Structure 1
Amino acid sequence: MPIYHEKQRWELCALHALNNVFQDGKAFNKQSMDELCQSLSPGSVLNPHKSMLGLGNYDVNVIMAAVQRRECEAVWWDKRRSLEQLELDNILGFIMNVPSPIQLGFVSVPIRRKHWIALRHIEGAFYNLDSKLSKPQTIGTTSAIFLDFLRSQLKQKGCELLLIVERDVCELRTWLKDPTS
């Protein structure tokens, strides 16, 4: 089965990350994301959950609402915790917010913006499904390699991690090896 991977358009990285994590190109589109923004701030002239230019740049609130439409939840990962506490088999995927340099043609500007990327375990391997990549990038086949990758990413200033889990996994906290912790 081929891995689904959307490539970057406009400022739609949140949309691409959602479709990539759910492995479904029809899960969300720009219209459904804009409707979520509107539902989060009804009646607002300038919606605080997306770009003023209407090109995307959706915030975490939109991602969380979108995930809920798929009977899942987005759980924010507290970076002070050990990644070894994660029960990877119970996590559908990950959406990470990472600092990303702005490119003007071939020139990188020293200003960093935030960029949403999807990470997922598919058929025995962990993949980076970043929409800025030309194709999915294999991270590795073991949990240890994947956790090392997450650890290195989370060291970046401003990097945040969301666990995408089914609703019952969220309620029972079985995304943790010890749900009582």
Structure 2
Amino acid sequence: MKLRESPIYHERQSFWLCAKLQGEVYTHADLERIAKYLYEQQPEQSGWLRFNSHKNFLGFGYYDVNVVAAALQEQQYDLLWHDRRTGIEEADLSGCTGIIVHIQPDWFFRRGHWFAIKYLDQNLTVPVVPTTYVGQPRAARSEEEREEREYESKSFEPGFWNLDSKLPHPEHIGDRDMLNAFLKKLEKKNRVHVLFVTPSNDRNSSSQASV
């Protein structure tokens, strides 16, 4: 099975663009535009330095939560923070479109990372791309070759999927109990924030008006 035949959209990360949504919605230029707009609304200043803390100053990405929230708002979605004082198993996901996880850096030179989790309510068969590592026999060396290769496929039942752009392919997490266990394990190893993507009130109003 080829990657382009997969029923799940999955975009591999380039530079520090992990904040791009998993879908053909935003380009790098779009996120730069949003970060610039946010900075112009309230520019930060430290002495003679002026900097945009919403992104990497070289333009390689590394966008903060304000850029992610603004991008979602343009698509009529809200971003809600999970209160870490309560267990993830207590969160109500009934109106949740998706989950966004942010792993904070635990030392100065390490970058934070965004990734998405989404529930898909159908049986799916996806290609399984083997993980590559230094010293491994030759694998696909270009994106084009990687896309055209035939991979083994595997079928999964409905459940939550990890769409992390650093993964070679989407990973099936499982049901709600498996999701809770996945996030709790992640929290033990990292400083993690969990955010929920929900339709905005404007989107709900538009949907009701069109019925």
- TM-score above 0.5: yes
Structure 2 matches for 1:101-120, cutoff 5 A?
111-120=109-118
Residue 101 of structure 2 aligns to a residue in which SS? strand
TM-score (norm 1): 0.77
- Alpha-carbon distance in 1 for matches of 2:201, 2:179: 24
Give how far 1:101 is off.
9.1
Give the corresponding residue for 2:183.
150
Residues 168 and 85 of structure 1, relative CA distance in 2, 3 Å threshold: farther
Deviation digits for residues 47-93 of structure 1, max 9, x if unmatched? 21110111101011100111111101110111111222222231111
Residues 117 and 40 of structure 1, relative CA distance in 2, 3 Å threshold: same
Structure 2 matches for 1:124-143, cutoff 5 A?
124-140=158-174, 142-143=175-176
Deviation digits for residues 97-123 of structure 1, max 9, x if unmatched? 115799xxxxxxx95321101111113
Give the partner amino acid of 1:28. Y
- Alpha-carbon distance in 2 for matches of 1:165, 1:5: 21
**Which runs of no fewer than 5 residues in structure 2 stay unpaired?**
1-5, 44-49, 122-157, 205-211
- Alpha-carbon distance in 2 for matches of 1:66, 1:14: 10
Residues 11 and 101 of structure 1, relative CA distance in 2, 3 Å threshold: farther
Percent identical: 33
Give the corresponding residue for 2:201.
168
State the structure with more CA Rg. Answer: 2
- Alpha-carbon distance in 2 for matches of 1:137, 1:101: 25
Residue 40 of structure 2 aligns to a residue in which SS? coil
Structure 2 matches for 1:27-106, cutoff 5 A?
27-42=25-40, 46-99=51-104
Is the Cα contact below 8 Å between 1:95 and 1:118 reproduced in 2? Answer: yes
Give the partner amino acid of 1:131. S
Residue 155 of structure 1 aligns to a residue in which SS? helix
Root-mean-square deviation (CA), in Å? 2.6
Give the corresponding residue for 2:155.
none
Give the partner amino acid of 1:118. A
Residues 131 and 28 of structure 1, relative CA distance in 2, 3 Å threshold: same
- Alpha-carbon distance in 1 for matches of 2:95, 2:184: 19
Residues 56 and 130 of structure 1, relative CA distance in 2, 3 Å threshold: same
Residue 75 of structure 1 aligns to a residue in which SS? strand
Aligned residues: 156
